[in-house]
């Protein structure tokens, strides 16, 4: 009986140690993240699987999983490193306390404004160069089963859903793709002045993103640096279906794809 008892005890210890190691790894190094929404198309697609590099900006109490956050009594950030404009960042929403992924547009002290769908950073235009269209099938996407928004209206299931695509170039020379669906209430905004130690984020799918252009709690608003979880640099895996094991929906061309 004692041998059986010892065996059970050792099994329990092994499981506990494994969970602790996995928790430490997730808290300090890399956190898995699935893309649930279309706000970052075409850079990130619904069903993309990423690892968030939690070492990129240092650590705060929000770097720890919410269930064990009481074990992370960190004031401010430790081993802090400043993010750069253009980074694709995962952060915790300041009021909803859900993980979001957006592109970093405004740094502390920046003045950000949208004019007729064009971004201005400190009064300088982020030039948009036409780059064809982004086309996808009009069909339910991901676990939520939401259908995409399209520039060409009245698209039936299975039809071609199209959005205008542009290359947006920041004044510092950094460039990336953005999408345009049509007129949006956030195509024209007042000037946002980013407060100290806070950041301004936008989705690359500009007309389908509740981001820093919209105040909290509906949108993201300004994001204090303590809520930054880390940078994402590469798509590790991607599936277009509702379930990960639907191998016939895997997007092989997106495996290990670099994010720009």
Instruction: List, by residue number, the catalytic residues.
Output: 39, 102
Question: What residues have CB less than 8 Å from 94, skipping those under 6 apart?
Answer: 216, 220, 221, 223, 224, 227
The strand pairing partners of 177, in sequence order, are 167
Whole-angstrom Cα distance, residue 132 to residue 177?
Answer: 11
Q: Which two tokens stand for residue 40?
A: 């970052």
Helix (H, G, I), strand (E, B) or coil at 243: coil
Whole-angstrom Cα distance, residue 188 to residue 242?
Answer: 35
The H-or-E segment that residue 10 falls in is helix 2-28
């Amino acid at each position: 009986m004692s041998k059986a008892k010892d065996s059970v005890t050792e099994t329990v210890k092994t499981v506990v140690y494994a969970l602790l190691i996995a928790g430490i790894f997730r808290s300090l190094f890399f956190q898995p993240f699935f893309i649930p929404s279309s706000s970052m198309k075409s850079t990130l697609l619904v069903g993309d699987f990423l690892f968030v590099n939690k070492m990129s900006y240092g650590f705060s109490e929000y770097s720890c999983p919410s269930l064990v956050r009481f074990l992370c009594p960190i004031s401010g950030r430790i081993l802090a490193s400043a993010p750069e404009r253009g980074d694709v960042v995962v952060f915790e929403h300041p009021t909803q306390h859900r993980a979001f992924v957006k592109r970093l547009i405004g740094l502390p002290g920046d003045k950000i404004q949208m004019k007729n769908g064009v971004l201005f950073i400190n009064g300088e235009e982020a030039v948009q160069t036409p780059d064809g269209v982004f086309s996808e099938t009009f069909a339910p996407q991901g676990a939520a089963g939401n259908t995409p928004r399209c520039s060409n209206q009245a698209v039936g299931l299975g039809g071609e859903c199209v959005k205008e695509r542009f290359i947006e170039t920041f004044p510092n020379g950094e460039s990336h793709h953005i999408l345009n669906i049509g007129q949006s209430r956030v195509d024209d905004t007042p000037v946002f002045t980013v407060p100290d130690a806070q950041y301004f984020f936008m989705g690359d799918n500009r007309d389908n993103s509740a981001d820093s252009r919209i105040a909290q709690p509906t949108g993201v608003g300004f994001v204090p640096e303590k809520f930054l979880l880390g940078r994402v640099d590469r798509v590790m895996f991607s599936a277009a279906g509702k379930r990960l094991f639907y191998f016939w929906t895997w997007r092989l061309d997106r495996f290990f794809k670099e994010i720009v």
